[in-house]
Chains A and B, each alone.
Chain A
Amino acid sequence: MKNFKLITLALITLLFTNACSNDDDATPPPVNEEEIITTITVTLTPNGGGTAITLKTQDLDGDGPNLPVTTVSGDLAANTTYNGRIELLNETEDPAEDITEEVEEESNEHQFFYTVSSSLNLTTAYTNFDDNGNPLGTAFTITSGAASTGVLTFTLRHEPIKPNTRLSDAGGETDIETSFNVTIQ
């Protein structure tokens, strides 16, 4: 009988603790996406000085309905080499979080790819590499050729197959894919 009472008591306690645990009326905190990359800024600085050109895509609502906003600050000069730097930000947080650091820390698991449309007279080369000597690509160079226009696409792959020869055999998951209309004059 004593046991029975104990069991009943235990059951009732359990019932109540469970029933009450979620009863507090406090509003839940919002979740700010920690990993999301909202902004990519590519800064192209001409070798030997001059005005840097920035290519920027910003998608503040992530996979929400608003379209990403893409801006290109100016045209590239012909036959010039530019040092390129990529900066990734999460602007849903305040202050904005720099995701570039994370990507560079995990260099073995990331790689940027640059896709140049056939009409655009331009070549790219990696200038930073991961721990195994495979390309990482947050730093790179662009060498422009004759005047032309076309599309330059930046793709960031997470956990690609490394080494690879190009985007199509790299596998992995796309974290960034953004295209810019570029003019060389």
Chain B
Amino acid sequence: MRVFILLFLLISSNFIISQNCNNTITGKVLDLHDNTILVDARIVVLEINKQLLTNESGGFTISGLCNQTYTIEISHAFCLPKTYKIELISSIEKVFLLEHHLEELNEIILEGKTNNDSETSLENKITKEELEKSSSKSLGDVLNSISGISSLNTGNTIVKPVINGLHSSRVVILNDGIRLEDQDWGAEHAPNLDINAIDNITVIKGASALQYSGNAIGGIVITETAKAPVKDSIYGKTIVTAASNGRGGTTTTQLTKTYKSGWYGNIQGTIKRFGDFNAPDYNLSNTGVYERSLSVRGGINRFRSGLEASYSLYKMETGILRASHLGGAQDQIRAINNLEPLFVDDFTYNINSPKQDVEHHILKLKGFKKFEKLGKLDFKYSFQQNNRLEFDVRRGDDRDKPSLDLKLNTHTLLLDLDSKLSETANLKLGLTGQYQTNFADPSTGIRRLIPDYSEYNTGLYAILEKQINNQFIFELGARLDYTYLDALKFYRTSFWEDRGYDSTFQDIVVEEFGNQILVNPKLNFYNPSATAGISYNFKEDFKLLFNYSLASRAPNPSELFSEGLHHSASRIELGGLEFKSETAHKFSFTLQHDSDRIRFTINPYINLISDFIVIEPIEVQQTIRGNFQVWEYRQTNARLMGVDIDGEIKLNDYFKYNHQFSIIKGKDITKKDALINMPAASTRNAIAYTNKKLNNLNLRLQSEYVFRQNEFPDNNFEVFVPETETLEIVDVSTPPDAYHLLGFNSSIDYKLSKKSILTIGFGVSNIFNTNYRNYLNRLRYYANDLGRDYSINLKINY
């Protein structure tokens, strides 16, 4: 009996084996995110213990499989392995999707190329490492390291990025997918963003990334946070920076918890505190800064869908050089003619008036879902609140009251669809809606600088990307934005009449109050924008990009409604209710070379802007407080032309040489004169030594030379000084001399344990303690720029 059973089993097993074992699995392994081919992915069939790798097109074939269930494990570098159970009854073809993820948290790699915001215009990136090294810097300072980007400063803590000569409302800052709405119109309003809360930055010089905005005549700064990996883990980092100049530092820390199920949570916080900074020869009184930021986010990240909610708070209190707080033209003469600031006190951490105190809240909800046929659908909603307080030196009961108290609330809704039309064509479609209100608190006792208003904005865009062959990529996009602005503005009756508004805008008058008049302008703006570009690859490592972009921007509230003394600039500023949108045509070419030894990009461009809104002096006005220069916004035609060059040569395994050069020429074509505040030509050269074997030792010596700006409009004016009984020139135009700064940076890694690394950095900036002033620093009339600064930077990853 036993023999019989054994025999039966033998026969039947033979029978099973011999049943049908001619099945084949023909597979292809792709990245789930963007369907890129995954080469060398490891395929293991557990039942038959067979291993193989995918070929160059991501494919594999396993033959000789029977009619049974197989367990197939697929793995790839930077991916989580995935196991499939496949029941075979015949040969099959199947596509396997892997989530191509970041393997190690310490090396967050941006998988370039695939995720570009624009295929045909140059993108400059700032990596996480660079951000970590600059932990105590501002966004503007960090961006400054990119060629073609400079900054418009008010002292050294209020830093606004200037892209190819343009700034403020012409530069759009995207904070993790949502446009930062923080009263960006003011020259002394810095972006309210903590760089420690972001993981990388991409800059596009121009308006070609239409999915984000159509009015970025200058460019777009895109900040992103790293995606949480789908695995069970907890990790974090802490960076402590201390610097001698300002006797302060920054501490930032963040912790992330992730789960294999896709859930994750992250908390991040930063405290930054500096006292008065100093120039080489004196203290810069009242220039301290106190910054705090906190962000929490959490969500679920699945292969085909994801949802995230986040909240962030940013608070910054910053002093403004006391010596820059002036009355009229006579005070200006004194300040400009004095070599040292008129007010220098001992070092202190206290921040007194004049100062800014800004708070920015962002509440955000975003999600995505991938549909097999349709593509990826993204949804974002955010609520932002920006509360800006500015304090001037005041008198009596008003002493501690802010002079400006604005609350800007913005609701934004975005819907984006990214779909692959074919293997070579990609279409992006999107819809945006925004509702914004500004409230100017009247209890300041000072007339509102920016009136109360509500603004509605909707936009619609489409971008088509088509790969023609291996060499050519073509890109085409269009966008339309509609803005409706409903404001309630008080004008001085004298100004209203002086401008002739009493006849041209008489129907918008609501009410008259003594010497003030309340009006209700309702403005409509339609802003079309478009882009077209080509990318051409040749000789393997060369690339030629051409991009044309049409951008149009509605005038901002400051340009429309300004009317009165701008205290921090010691001048009267006047806007124009009749302004229309400005329109820019930018042509940008890029030659890019990327080989093992040499990398470079050469990027010439020309930006033609019609109805460009500029502010310039028109007259000197006499008031009871003395004379003030009057600056009036005006629309003109402008031409900005320039070239940005970046280069890197690997001298050997350890040494690298970097070069950067930027020059820009801005011209008011109508007036045939130079444009004001164009960055001076500058060049940066650096030698870096890196030795991975020696604890990843990094040494870098950098030289920065900024030429003198020789092209500038002459806005000087004369005033009578009673004391000397002479007419004196107020020189507000002449740019400062050229200067050269030398800096040194170093870092070294120590492995503390299997999972934690300590990085120690040391740096010196302005090594020779050079006295210099920068043309684009609004306080250059009153004081020298920063002196030497030693800094230490400790980073622990755990």
B725 on the A face (CB < 8 A): yes
A136–B606 Cα distance when bound, in Å, is 58
The answer to whether B395 touches A158, judged by C-beta atoms less than 8 angstroms apart, is yes
Q: Which B residue sits closest to A25, measured CB to CB?
A: B488
The answer to whether A115 touches B723, judged by C-beta atoms less than 8 angstroms apart, is yes
Which 5 A-B pairs rank lowest in CB-CB distance, beginning with the nearest?
A174-B327, A34-B445, A177-B626, A59-B624, A153-B722
A106 on the B face (CB < 8 A): yes
Instruction: Kindly identify which residue among B394, B440, B446, B494 contacts A61, using a CB–CB cutoff of 8 Å.
Output: B494
A91–B621 Cα distance when bound, in Å, is 20
The answer to whether B447 touches A33, judged by C-beta atoms less than 8 angstroms apart, is yes
CB distance from A58 to the nearest CB of B (A): 8
The answer to whether A63 touches B396, judged by C-beta atoms less than 8 angstroms apart, is no
Question: Do A63 and B383 contact each other (CB < 8 Å), given the known contacts A15-B411, A34-B445?
Answer: no
CB distance from A80 to the nearest CB of B (A): 23
A66–B497 Cα distance when bound, in Å, is 10
Q: Mark B461-496, 1 if CB is under 8 A from A, else 0.
A: 000000000000000000000000000101011110
Chain A neighbourhood of B398, CB < 8 A: 34-35
The answer to whether A159 touches B624, judged by C-beta atoms less than 8 angstroms apart, is no
A57 on the B face (CB < 8 A): yes
Residues in B357-402 with C-beta less than 8 Å from chain A: 363, 365, 383, 393-398
Q: Mark A28-40, 1 if CB is under 8 A from B, else 0.
A: 1111111101111
A68–B627 Cα distance when bound, in Å, is 11
Chain B neighbourhood of A34, CB < 8 A: 397-398, 445-446
CB distance from B248 to the nearest CB of A (A): 26
Question: Do A173 and B488 contact each other (CB < 8 Å), given the known contacts A18-B383, A30-B516?
Answer: no
Chain B neighbourhood of A153, CB < 8 A: 722
Interface centre among A30, A40, A106, A178 (most CB of B within 10 A): A30
Q: Which B residue sits closest to A102, measured CB to CB?
A: B396
CB distance from B631 to the nearest CB of A (A): 12
Stretch in contact with the other chain, from B25-33, B274-282, B507-515, B597-605? B507-515
A105 on the B face (CB < 8 A): yes
Instruction: Kindly identify which residue among B365, B411, B516 contacts A11, using a CB–CB cutoff of 8 Å.
Output: B365
The answer to whether B565 touches A31, judged by C-beta atoms less than 8 angstroms apart, is no
Q: Mark A147-185, 1 if CB is under 8 A from B, else 0.
A: 000010100001101000011100101111111000000
CB distance from A121 to the nearest CB of B (A): 15
Chain A neighbourhood of B363, CB < 8 A: 14
Given contacts A106-B396, A171-B334, 10 further A-B contacts (CB under 8 A): A19-B435, A21-B409, A30-B514, A35-B445, A35-B446, A63-B625, A68-B623, A158-B393, A168-B334, A174-B330
A117 on the B face (CB < 8 A): yes
Q: Name B's A-contacting residues (CB within 8 A).
A: 325-328, 330-331, 334, 342-343, 363, 365, 383, 393-398, 409, 411, 435, 437, 439-440, 442, 444-448, 452, 454, 488, 490, 492-495, 498, 510-511, 513-516, 518, 564-565, 572, 621-626, 628, 722-723, 725
A73 on the B face (CB < 8 A): no
Instruction: Kindly identify which residue among B327, B393, B397, B411 contacts A19, using a CB–CB cutoff of 8 Å.
Output: B411
Chain B neighbourhood of A49, CB < 8 A: none
The answer to whether B725 touches A117, judged by C-beta atoms less than 8 angstroms apart, is yes
CB distance from A110 to the nearest CB of B (A): 8
Chain A neighbourhood of B395, CB < 8 A: 35, 99, 102-103, 106, 109, 158, 175
Chain A neighbourhood of B442, CB < 8 A: 28-31
Chain B neighbourhood of A9, CB < 8 A: none
A118–B724 Cα distance when bound, in Å, is 9
Q: Which B residue sits closest to A115, measured CB to CB?
A: B722
The answer to whether A63 touches B572, judged by C-beta atoms less than 8 angstroms apart, is yes
A159–B323 Cα distance when bound, in Å, is 11
The answer to whether A67 touches B622, judged by C-beta atoms less than 8 angstroms apart, is yes
The answer to whether A28 touches B488, judged by C-beta atoms less than 8 angstroms apart, is yes
Q: Which B residue sits closest to A119, measured CB to CB?
A: B725
Chain A neighbourhood of B498, CB < 8 A: 64-66
The answer to whether B624 touches A178, judged by C-beta atoms less than 8 angstroms apart, is yes
A27–B624 Cα distance when bound, in Å, is 31
Interface centre among B394, B518, B626 (most CB of A within 10 A): B626
A178–B622 Cα distance when bound, in Å, is 10
Chain A neighbourhood of B628, CB < 8 A: 63
The answer to whether B444 touches A31, judged by C-beta atoms less than 8 angstroms apart, is yes
The answer to whether B492 touches A61, judged by C-beta atoms less than 8 angstroms apart, is yes
The answer to whether B515 touches A65, judged by C-beta atoms less than 8 angstroms apart, is no
A40–B625 Cα distance when bound, in Å, is 11
A86 on the B face (CB < 8 A): no
The answer to whether B448 touches A31, judged by C-beta atoms less than 8 angstroms apart, is yes
Interface centre among A31, A102, A176 (most CB of B within 10 A): A31
A92 on the B face (CB < 8 A): yes
Chain B neighbourhood of A31, CB < 8 A: 442, 444-448, 490
CB distance from B493 to the nearest CB of A (A): 8
A67–B498 Cα distance when bound, in Å, is 12
Q: Which A residue sits closest to B396, measured CB to CB?
A: A102
Instruction: Kindly identify which residue among A32, A102, A173 contacts B325, using a CB–CB cutoff of 8 Å.
Output: A173
A39–B396 Cα distance when bound, in Å, is 18
Chain B neighbourhood of A59, CB < 8 A: 623-624
Chain B neighbourhood of A132, CB < 8 A: none
The answer to whether A174 touches B625, judged by C-beta atoms less than 8 angstroms apart, is yes
Chain A neighbourhood of B564, CB < 8 A: 62-64
